[in-house]
Amino acid sequence: MFGETEYDPTGQFCSICIEEQLDALGRAVDAGKVRYIGLSNETPYGIMKFVQSAEKVSHYPRIISIQNSYNLLCRTFNSGMAECCHHERISLLAYSPLAMGILSGKYFSHDGSPADARLNLFKGRYLEGESRYNLSKKIIKDATLEYLGIARKYGLHPVSLAIAFVLRHPLVASAVFGATKSWQLKEVLNSCKVELTSEMIAEINEVHARFPNPCP
């Protein structure tokens, strides 16, 4: 289901069973090689299967985190995953909080986006990212421009709006971002100090109502 919006049973493939995975991970925890374990790009079904399997055997480690995409353009976590994580006390490590950089506004610059920006640098080699965050799709471009407009209205850098939105989610433990330049890192760190007002949240949710999950 990675990056997909619908389950296709023909795409199902065999993998190591959950019990065997938990057993191996449990031994790694006991050996001090890792402290805790988590999942990534999982579904509500998947996460509950891991939780239920871990409860059956005392030495199996408990799942404490899930690393899934979450940002202004992609809120699929809130549908089924959030309920599972809330009840099972699992935190979200939200990756791609800037939607592969498009929420920073850099792909809308007048002189063209930077040549070393990820969607340009790896053009044609990052299929999942390019299909999910493709500005040639009108709904994605329109939604992004709306969020950039909100940031501009309130005198915020678009990065600050995007990061602050992710961090305010009660289940988010951390936002996983990428930075290739020191000023980008500083920009993100400054964003952690921003608190969105109720007015800003209302406008964000109004945009979301018109463009629900344009990037699933």
Going by their DSSP bridges, the two strands 37-40 and 91-95 should be labelled as unpaired
- Report if residue 202 sits inside a domain: yes
Please tell me the predicted confidence (pLDDT) of residue 187. Answer: 86
Please tell me the predicted confidence (pLDDT) of residue 170. Answer: 97
Q: How far apart are CA 124 and CA 195, in angstroms?
A: 37
Please tell me the predicted confidence (pLDDT) of residue 115. Answer: 60
Q: How far apart are CA 3 and CA 139, in angstroms?
A: 17
Each of the 216 residues of the chain gets a pLDDT tens digit; together they read: 455 667 777 767 778 899 999 999 999 999 999 999 999 999 999 999 999 999 999 999 999 999 999 999 999 999 889 999 999 999 999 999 999 889 999 888 766 666 666 665 556 666 666 667 888 889 999 999 999 999 999 999 999 999 999 999 999 999 999 888 888 888 889 888 999 999 999 999 999 999 988 887
**Total tally of structural domains belonging to the chain:** 1
- Report if residue 54 sits inside a domain: no
- Report if residue 123 sits inside a domain: yes
- Report if residue 192 sits inside a domain: yes
- Report if residue 25 sits inside a domain: no
Please tell me the predicted confidence (pLDDT) of residue 118. Answer: 64
Q: How far apart are CA 162 and CA 187, in angstroms?
A: 12
- Report if residue 106 sits inside a domain: yes
Token pair for residue 151? 């940031």
Q: 153: domain range?
A: 99-173+180-210
Please tell me the predicted confidence (pLDDT) of residue 30. Answer: 95
- Report if residue 165 sits inside a domain: yes
Please tell me the predicted confidence (pLDDT) of residue 88. Answer: 97
Token pair for residue 50? 């891991």
Strand ordering across the sheet containing 37-40: 37-40, 63-67, 91-95, 172-176
- Report if residue 199 sits inside a domain: yes
The DSSP result for the chain, as a single string, is -TT-SS--GGG------HHHHHHHHHHHHHTTS-S-EEEES--HHHHHHHHHHHHHSTTSPPEEEEE-B-SSS--GGGTTHHHHHHHHT-EEEEE-TTTTTGGGTGGG-TT---TTSHHHHTTTT-HHHHHHS-TTSHHHHHHHHHHHHHHHHTT--HHHHHHHHHHTSTTEEEEE---SSHHHHHHHHHHTT----HHHHHHHHHHHHHS--S--
Please tell me the predicted confidence (pLDDT) of residue 138. Answer: 92
